Structure 1
Amino acid sequence: MGHRFEMRKDIELDATPEQVWEAIATGPGVDSWFMGRTEVAPGEGSRGSFTMAGYTEETTVTGWEPAKRFAYRSDPGPDGAFMAMEYLIEGREQSSTVLRLVQSGVLGDNWETEYEAMQAGWNMYLSTLAAYLTHFPGRTGAPVAAFRPGAGEPDQVWAAVASAFGITGTVTEGTPARLHVDGLPPIDGVVDLAGLPTYFGVRTSDALYRFLHSGTDRGNVLVLGHHLFADDQDPARAEQAWQEWVNRLPIG
């Protein structure tokens, strides 16, 4: 039997309500900071979709108040399970905005593990949203994803990722990070997310690189979800290069 849940998060963003709206209520905006690929059509009752790893979830917009409120709900599954999202936007002084989100729906039998994973995932994605609005305002990023199921325990995975970026010792925000991926331009940036043992991020002048560990109970999957902002980037080529890189990453 499914388990009903509700999760609330909020974050203050260095952006106007209009900028936040563009980031959460348009497909290109969402693709600039969230996982997968999203399509959004304007207006209450319109249809949208979310696609990741070959799976597509269809959605319906249930709330559309530009720069104020955006909500949608997924189509129910055969068992009645669904997900619903609501974003509330509140402008503050000095061009800052508070974004509040409420996610609700029905989780499966392993709901506690799923809920904890969503909590940690939203911490990373909201931090990525903040980085996007702060460092890449007015631009849109191309999403790039790669996966390695059964990658290893968190400590093994993060040791390998840190080593690949030339990082020794404790991983902290602000640490220089450099990496070469075959077939792609060199990466030279800084660690801007250090949410270990769950997630790790690097920011450069033209990209946000994100790495997420699913946890032991969810298959020890290492998930790469990057956002590329350079005009000359080839997302398909980059995705293939990153998949090859994560497949070869020496772990353990």
Structure 2
Amino acid sequence: MNREFEVRSEREIKGTPEQVFAAITTGTAGWLWPIECEPRLGGAIDIAPGAKITAWEPGSRFANRAEKGDWFNELDNVIEPRPGGKSFVRYTHRGAFPEEDWQNLYDGCLHHTDLYQATMAAYVEHFDGKAAEYLTVDAPAATATDAGAFDRLVRELGLTDATLGDRVSVEIPGVGRLDGELDYRSPYFLGIRTGDAFYRFFGRNTWGDPVAVAAHHFGAVDTEAEAKAWESWLAGVYA
């Protein structure tokens, strides 16, 4: 049996409503993951099985919904103009999770929402309109049940004492040096923004899933080779 939930996020973004609309419809590889959609009301979108676009109003609203039985998943973005070329975005995620794991899934959704919405805002501000190459790699499966797995990752990155806004430099064999700003930090996630990429580190062990790394590159990159390098590095961290 499923139980309904609702997660909301509101934030001002340094970008016009048109820029925000483009980011949440065709630019998702730059801050979430690549999502394909038919750009029209009623069009298909591959964010969930059977999902359809329920609102397509360029510059003001974008929504989609999927449903089956007592399960559904609905995402709604309302965009309002603000002075100075800015926007205010009201994001609502409604859906249904299995009753037996509801609290865990809701908590994970709540915290992932904040990370992704913050990254979307940063994408519009720093990389607006740029195409992205996306990759993601899970750490070994055993990290899913290791309460200290994410803290260990942060230590290996040398960022235990780093705070939001700090300039950081991290060397990853096979990936290179990540020189940039610590642009997201919470007990569950860490984010670095360089001059041409976002790097996101996920403490999903909190919710029973493996620790993970994702990268959004705004330039030429061999994603297959980089993914293998991250996989090797993560294996070493948790050896």
Same fold (TM over 0.5): yes
| Residue identity matched to 1:124 | L
1:240 and 2:239 correspond: no
- Which residue pairs with 2:200 in the alignment? 210
Q: Aligned pair in 2 of structure 1 residues 62, 124: CA closer, same or farther (>3 Å)?
A: same
Of 139, 155, 168 in structure 2, the residue corresponding to residue 177 of structure 1 is: 168
Asked if 2 retains the 8 angstrom alpha-carbon contact of 1:171 and 1:194, the reply is no
Q: Give the percent of matched residue pairs that are identical in Structure 1 and Structure 2.
A: 28
Of 63, 86, 89 in structure 2, the residue corresponding to residue 96 of structure 1 is: 86
- Which residue pairs with 2:42 in the alignment? 45
- Which residue pairs with 2:215 in the alignment? 226
Q: Which moved more, 1:117-126 or 1:79-88?
A: 79-88
Query: For 2:93 and 2:77, how far apart are their aligned partners in 1?
Result: 9
Secondary structure of the structure 2 residue equivalent to 1:239: helix
Secondary structure of the structure 2 residue equivalent to 1:37: coil
Query: For 1:240 and 1:48, how far apart are their aligned partners in 2?
Result: 29
Q: Aligned pair in 2 of structure 1 residues 246, 81: CA closer, same or farther (>3 Å)?
A: same
- Which residue pairs with 2:57 in the alignment? 65
Asked if 2 retains the 8 angstrom alpha-carbon contact of 1:3 and 1:108, the reply is yes
CA RMSD of aligned residues (A): 1.9
- Which residue pairs with 2:8 in the alignment? 8
Write the deviation string for residues 38-60 of structure 1: whole angstroms up to 9, x where unpaired.
1111001111213xxxxx73421
Gaps of 5+ in 1: 51-55
| Residue identity matched to 2:229 | A
- Which residue pairs with 1:85 in the alignment? 75
Secondary structure of the structure 1 residue equivalent to 2:71: coil
| Residue identity matched to 1:131 | A
- Which residue pairs with 1:53 in the alignment? none
Q: Aligned pair in 2 of structure 1 residues 81, 114: CA closer, same or farther (>3 Å)?
A: same
Gaps of 5+ in 2: none
Query: For 2:49 and 2:231, how far apart are their aligned partners in 1?
Result: 23
Q: How does 1:115-154 map to 2 (within 5 A)?
A: 115-148=106-139, 149-151=141-143, 153-154=146-147
Asked if 2 retains the 8 angstrom alpha-carbon contact of 1:150 and 1:220, the reply is no
Of 163, 175, 195 in structure 1, the residue corresponding to residue 155 of structure 2 is: 163
Asked if 1 retains the 8 angstrom alpha-carbon contact of 2:73 and 2:95, the reply is yes
Asked if 2 retains the 8 angstrom alpha-carbon contact of 1:144 and 1:226, the reply is yes
Q: CA deviation at 1:129?
A: 1.0
- Which residue pairs with 2:28 in the alignment? 30
Query: For 2:102 and 2:17, how far apart are their aligned partners in 1?
Result: 34
Q: CA deviation at 1:17?
A: 0.4
Q: CA deviation at 1:73?
A: 1.1
Write the deviation string for residues 82-120 of structure 1: whole angstroms up to 9, x where unpaired.
211111010110011011111112111211111111111
Asked if 2 retains the 8 angstrom alpha-carbon contact of 1:6 and 1:103, the reply is yes
Asked if 1 retains the 8 angstrom alpha-carbon contact of 2:150 and 2:202, the reply is no
Q: CA deviation at 1:153?
A: 4.1
- Which residue pairs with 1:20 in the alignment? 20
Query: For 2:128 and 2:15, how far apart are their aligned partners in 1?
Result: 8
Write the deviation string for residues 17-65 of structure 1: whole angstroms up to 9, x where unpaired.
0000000011xx011101x331111001111213xxxxx7342111111
